[in-house]
Each structure stands twice: as C-alpha cells, then as structure tokens.
Amino acid sequence: MNLQVIEHPVVRHHLTQLRDRSTPPEQFRAIVGRLTSLLVFRATEHLALRDRNVTTPLTAFHGHELSQSIGLVPILRAGLGMIDPVLSLLPTAEVWHLGLYRDETTSQPVEYYSKLPPGRPVDVAMVLDPMLATGGSAVLAYHTLKRWGVPHVKLLSIISAPEGIDRLRQECPDLEVHVCAVDQGLNERNFIVPGLGDAGDRIFNTSGHH
C-alpha cells in the first residue's frame, strides 16, 4: 500500500476551516471541492499519455492526451460531494456508485448497492470517500473493484485515521492512498478524532441542528 499525504499550506488552511464546527454546509461543500481538486491533481501525476497532434492558430503542435480509461467510484453518500471537482479535471471519466453503510453495532460496512458493468473494467479506478476511519468501506470497495478486474485502484480521502491506514496496508497490497491529513485516531464510536464530524451530514445538511 502506497500512502501519499499532501503536505501543503493551502491544504492546511482549508482543512482547518473544514474541521470548524461553525462552518455552514454550503461552505463545507465548497471546501470539500477545493481539497478534492488538490487530491486529484496529486493522484493523477502518473497517468499514462499518448501522442496527439493538433494545430494551434499559429502552427502544428505535437502534444499528448490521457490514454487510460478512468472510473470514479464515490462511496455513497459522502463520496458524492467529491465527484464534481474530479469531473471538472477528468470530464470523460465514468462514474460508478458503490453504496455502503456502517452497521452501528459492529461498525462493519454493509454493501447495499453496487452496479459495476460486466465486461472490460476501467484502467484506473478512484474511490472517493472523504473519511478513511476503520478502513472497512475502503477494503470492501478495493476488493469489489479488483474482482471487476481493475488493475490500478486509488483511494482519495480528505482525512484518515492510523487504524484505517494500517488495515489497508494489511489487506490492500497494491492500493494507492491519497489523503490531506492523518489524524490522531478513532474514538470508541469509531469516529475520527479530531476529525470533522460526520462528513455526509455536513455536506448534505442533514445533521438535524437548525
């Protein structure tokens, strides 16, 4: 497992705003978008290219274009908040949804929706989930995509816990993980501390605090 943490002043600035409990949902969504763009920029550094010749207004130009098919796999529902920034950079990417919920008693992920097409898988899949906590959802997504036949799987998460990272190291040997921060750890309810609360509730304004 290959872990990449983005150490960057702009990331730290936005991450602090994201953690602030007083940040309203519309601002929270916008910051998730900005941080996702930075994650994608880093996660796409080694995508393959092929030659492409074009004509500029002045002359012929020997350029390049992306040569691999890319699939985005947002983990429902919090991962939905990360799709648009990725599509703005990779507009031809396919989007496949994976629905997982956490069993409150066992803290284990349960898959309730998965619609990956039969036939040829994408070359690169990016799993989108703002939080990497226990790692359960990421492991399930990884194995689902590997069964589909995806050669390169990357996980993009905004914040992560050491427990989840350790689990991915053990269970997902060739996974590439890109995060903005590794937090202190998980509490007794398996929430990331200091964290930012429930990302899904904060993105979609469903926390019930009005």
pLDDT, one tens digit per residue, over 1-42 is 999 999 999 999 999 999 999 999 999 999 999 999 999 999
Judge whether 106 counts as a catalytic residue: yes
Judge whether 103 counts as a catalytic residue: no
Q: Please pick, among 34, 102, 123, 169, the residue that the annotation labels catalytic.
A: 102
Q: Please pick, among 23, 34, 169, 201, the residue that the annotation labels catalytic.
A: 201
Write the pLDDT tens digit of every residue in 74-98. 988 889 999 999 999 999 999 998 8
Q: Which residue ranges make up each domain of the chain?
A: 2-46+69-204
Q: On the CB side of 110, how many CA atoms lie within 13 Å of its CA?
A: 8
- pLDDT of 45 reads 95
How far apart, in whole angstroms, are the C-alpha atoms of residue 1 and residue 11? 23
Q: Please pick, among 56, 92, 105, 106, the residue that the annotation labels catalytic.
A: 106
Confidence tier at 208 by pLDDT (50, 70, 90) = low
- pLDDT of 14 reads 97
CATH of domain 2-46+69-204: 3.40.50.2020
Show Cβ contacts of residue 167 under 8 Å, excluding neighbours closer than 6 positions: 134, 135, 136, 139
pLDDT of residue 210 exceeding 60, the answer is no
Backbone φ/ψ region at 196: left (φ over 0), alpha (ψ -120 to 50), beta:
alpha
Judge whether 84 counts as a catalytic residue: no
Asked if 78 and 91 count as a contact pair (C-beta separation under 8 A), the reply is: no
Asked if 178 and 127 count as a contact pair (C-beta separation under 8 A), the reply is: no
